Structure 1
Amino acid sequence: MGGTTTSRGLVIAGREVPSESGGHAEDRNPWDGSVFAEVAAGTAADVRAAVDAAAEAFPAWAATRPAERRAILNRAADLLAERTKDVIALMAEEVGAVAPWAGFNVMLAADMLREAAAATSQPVGQVLATNSEGVLSIQQRVPKGVVAAISPWNAPVILGVRAVAMPLAVGNTVVLKPSEDAPIACGLLISDVLHEAGLPAGVLNVVTNDRADAGAVVEALIGDERVRMVNFTGSTEVGRRIGVLAATHLKPAVLELGGKNALIVLDDADVDYAVDAAVFGSYMNAGQICMCVDRVIVDHSLADAFTERFAARVRDLPVGDPSAAGTVIGPVISESAAQRVSALIRDAVEHGAELVVGSGEIEVPGTLIRPTVLAGVTKQMRVYYDEIFGPATVIHPVDDVEEAVALANDSAHGLTAGVITENLARGLEVAARLRTGIVHVGDQSIADEPQAPFGGVKNSGYGRFGGQAGAEAFTDTRWVTAQVSGRAHYPI
């Protein structure tokens, strides 16, 4: 790692350009701290230029034939898939991702582009019943206009593509602001493949920025009257600010935010399968997925056997350099992220929690925490309610299904959950009682398919990405009537 530094500009009106200020922001490798890339540090002035380009491109793009939009999105999917090896190397350096996770990012993101391509030729309206004589009444979905998209670093290719693919498919233009921690993987890479696939100039614009300017850039983007909608994936804390800002300007938003996800292991579960599910759900991408298992809620009758086997598996997970073959747990994204996760674990231990595996200590290079398992966690500990978003999870033994459901629902978040049982009917009954936007019966909490509606409830956000729900989220519903025979009658 730590080779030649990449330098990238903003993408405005189909061209890569410097920021108005001429400034740059450093994109650092979380494993060795080296400067992996320098990107243009966009400002409010650059946001205006990007929105100018998107607004100018919108009428022509909205009028583009569905087959043309479909062909571009399908070509982009193919181009992205062809770059799998390059993206694996990119994600190792930019976000510390291990190869299986990076490869999955490419696969799912390509599928999202293909699903968006398919959406271009789906029905966009329906004929309505009417009481008016000689009138044809139609409900029609039409593109909103310029969409502001703000994408995160943790699943950068998946979530960067998700931020733009369906908006583009249904005829919108987009200004994308990628995370400061992954401006290439969740922004510029996506622009590269779409423009290489033939996307017209101005339809997708990318504004990267310095972390210190993030607030001003987002405010300028959402506040521009030509931007008609916002989508954001990230933390609940930031999402709340995005939602307030969008509401202030009377703009709809799709917000996919944090989770405090539970894996419920019922008393009839296959313990070995439950352990496999919990290991994957808790520690994929070092726990830095919004869907990760923060809590394993396991019936008392299985708790000892589950904990023993789970602990043994977790201790053996390979930890270290994300670019090394076989590494399962790489670094977290930054030293500040490592400090936050370590502080959660330390607070729990200081208040009486048991460290079943791991210590929560930060190791060289300052972003590495070995996988950790906590038991004996109570409501007095921050980790009981706070999202971990790192390589740690909590085991909660419970006496029965009632206690399991109550504990799973005892959270301000409501993104996803898993239920492990050998009885499908019982699993579906438990799933029906969970207050989450997603539930997986017979599986852990991490799953994503481009044709499925994706999103949460409570503090996990609102609105849905994916499938028909996503197509509807990024369009406006218009009522159109036509007097096809006779004449309308007026009382005055």
Structure 2
Amino acid sequence: MPLARELLIDGKDVPALSGRTTEDVNPYTGEVYATVAAAGLEDVTLAVDAADAAFAEWSAFTPFARRAIFLKAADLLDSRTEQVAEIMAHEAGGTRPWAHFNVGLAANILREAAAAITAPRGQVLSAQEEGVLGLAVREPLGVVAAFAPWNAPVILGVRAVAAPLAAGNTVVVKPSEDAPIACGLLVADVLREAGLPDGVLNVVTNAREDAAEIAEALIADSRVRAVNFTGSTGIGRIIGTHAAQHLKPVVLELGGKNAVILLEDADVDYAVDAVTFSVFMNSGQICMSGDRVLVHESLAEEFTRKFAAKVAALQAGDPTHPHTVVGPLITASAAQRVARLVVDAVAKGATVLTGGGQPEGSVHPATVLTNVPQDADLYYAEVFGPVCVVERFSDDATAVVLANATDNGLTCGIITENATHGLNVARRIRTGIVHINDQSVADEPHAPFGGVKASGYGRFGGRWGIEAFSNTRWVTIATQQAHYPF
């Protein structure tokens, strides 16, 4: 029997008022893994009602009481690693190593949020008037609307709510239709068990056909004071537009067309391992995945030969198998989309070094291409699948031009044995994140995470997350009576 989950509103598991449900499908087997409540507009209103009602009490919680909840939630999440691995495999096609990584990082996001709660916040200001003390005080905003994606469901589900809650806000989260349990209900379960009061975190799941209507209603509610969204650039533009129409701040972490650059002083064997991880971890379904591998021409022949051989040996298929690296994409239609990008590139002159061919269900072969022309759709489109393009360059200036030749600007890896050389190149790369002598996929809970250009704006992580979901208020205290001109 499939699992059955309801909405979480005001601390209670409740069905949608309409009684509707929607199916949560296993991407590898095509079987129904769970059914979840399909919220309507009236359910969104009830969720915001609960969050709004809970705000005064939660924002007044002492920092140490709030911190204790986050620390307990982190330990609880760590203890649920096996449960998370099962959920992620059946709901999102995640492999076991990917699930373990999700749990570890998500637990540390909770711990970092706990630390941020009691960190110094605000400033003492100089004042032009004698005897006046000025303060810049950070205060919570109110209700935050959060949108959590499916691809790193536990990491990004936790990230969507951790900083807003830590700052003293209440939250209504709309998890992805493709992983409503892992990126929404599971996260809420852990925080609820850790002692989060009723109404502070509410989860609204929905049917896919209702997604746009639910999102728009949530953002439009006058009691929602800020928004965060992690997902594709296309949907991010819509979310950002809705938020702007209502004059609400928004943090957008969107897609990437990321490059890993192998400078002429790179260690080739290390680069092969690093790039393989960057491209094929979670079957390339990571916003930081390395779509493009830019290789100095002096290393290109050796690197390409060794890289193609390693990729060809990667095990693909069942995500529950302990040795699977390339599991299923989130849907069979997603795998077909990736296949069309490859077919189009080959038809326009690209060379397949390994892989290619048609997917088996939702599993697309690990694929490496070269000689991809600029008129191929793949040249500029984010792949979000197990495919990369290898391209040669002759000097640093050319590598920088190639890396920056995209509307996106999320992350970049620069592999070199010379940190000074790497830093010189990194300073010319237009991304929100860059890793020297490493590949493009990395995340740490205390670091400012986010992109530039079409990869979004605003930052998650550490104090930057707290600042994103709090407001600066100017407060003055006059220690003596002022004199007025009339």
TM-score over 0.5 for the pair: yes
Match of 1:56 among 42, 53, 57: 53
Secondary structure of 1:369 counterpart: coil
Q: 1:180 maps to what in 2?
A: 177
Q: 1:82 maps to what in 2?
A: 79
Q: 2:485 maps to what in 1?
A: 491
Match of 1:381 among 376, 379, 386: 376
Match of 1:463 among 458, 464, 474: 458
Q: What pairs with 1:376-455 in structure 2 (closer than 5 Å)?
A: 376-455=371-450
Please state if 1:277 is matched with 2:274. yes
Identity of aligned residues (%): 61
Q: 2:13 maps to what in 1?
A: 16
Q: 2:41 maps to what in 1?
A: 44
Q: 2:261 maps to what in 1?
A: 264
Secondary structure of 1:108 counterpart: helix
1:336 is displaced (CA, Å) by 1.5
Alignment partners' CA distance in 2, 1:91 and 1:401: 41
Alignment partners' CA distance in 2, 1:379 and 1:359: 19
Match of 1:322 among 319, 322, 340: 319
Alignment partners' CA distance in 2, 1:264 and 1:251: 38
Q: What pairs with 1:180-329 in structure 2 (closer than 5 Å)?
A: 180-329=177-326
1:124 is displaced (CA, Å) by 1.8
Q: Deviations over 1:224-264 (max 9, x none)?
A: 00000000000000000000000000000000000000000
Q: Deviations over 1:431-461 (max 9, x none)?
A: 0000000000000000000000000000000
Alignment partners' CA distance in 2, 1:339 and 1:319: 16
Secondary structure of 1:254 counterpart: strand
Secondary structure of 2:298 counterpart: helix
Q: 1:356 maps to what in 2?
A: 353
Q: Which runs of 5+ in 2 are unaligned?
A: none
Alignment partners' CA distance in 2, 1:15 and 1:277: 45
Secondary structure of 2:460 counterpart: coil
Secondary structure of 1:250 counterpart: coil
Q: Deviations over 1:59-92 (max 9, x none)?
A: 1100000011000001000111000011001100
Please state if 1:132 is matched with 2:129. yes
Match of 1:72 among 62, 66, 69: 69
Please state if 1:167 is matched with 2:164. yes
Secondary structure of 2:129 counterpart: coil
Secondary structure of 1:320 counterpart: coil
Q: 1:142 maps to what in 2?
A: 139
Calculate the TM-score normalised by the size of structure 2: 0.99
Q: Deviations over 1:403-443 (max 9, x none)?
A: 10100000000000000011110000100000000000000
1:436 maps to a residue whose letter is T
Q: Deviations over 1:302-361 (max 9, x none)?
A: 101000000000000011100112111100000111111111111100100001110141
1:11 maps to a residue whose letter is L
1:220 is displaced (CA, Å) by 0.7
Alignment partners' CA distance in 2, 1:344 and 1:311: 19
Secondary structure of 1:368 counterpart: coil
Secondary structure of 2:299 counterpart: helix
Alignment partners' CA distance in 1, 2:121 and 2:260: 38
* Native 8 Å contact 1:265 1:420 kept in 2: yes
Secondary structure of 1:380 counterpart: coil
Q: Deviations over 1:2-54 (max 9, x none)?
A: xx300000000000000011000100000000000000001111010000000
1:136 is displaced (CA, Å) by 1.0
Alignment partners' CA distance in 1, 2:262 and 2:171: 42
Alignment partners' CA distance in 1, 2:357 and 2:252: 31
1:118 is displaced (CA, Å) by 0.6
1:491 is displaced (CA, Å) by 2.0
* Native 8 Å contact 1:105 1:156 kept in 2: yes
Q: 1:120 maps to what in 2?
A: 117
Match of 1:105 among 102, 112, 115: 102
Secondary structure of 1:319 counterpart: coil
1:8 maps to a residue whose letter is R
278-287 or 116-125: which moved more? Answer: 116-125
Secondary structure of 1:301 counterpart: coil
1:489 is displaced (CA, Å) by 2.0
10-19 or 131-140: which moved more? Answer: 131-140
1:467 is displaced (CA, Å) by 1.0
Q: What is the CA RMSD across the aligned residues, in angstroms?
A: 0.6
Alignment partners' CA distance in 1, 2:297 and 2:413: 18
Alignment partners' CA distance in 1, 2:71 and 2:311: 40
* Native 8 Å contact 1:145 1:172 kept in 2: yes
Q: Deviations over 1:90-125 (max 9, x none)?
A: 100000000000100000000000000111101121
2:476 maps to a residue whose letter is T
Q: Which runs of 5+ in 1 are unaligned?
A: none
Alignment partners' CA distance in 2, 1:62 and 1:33: 43
* Native 8 Å contact 1:341 1:360 kept in 2: no
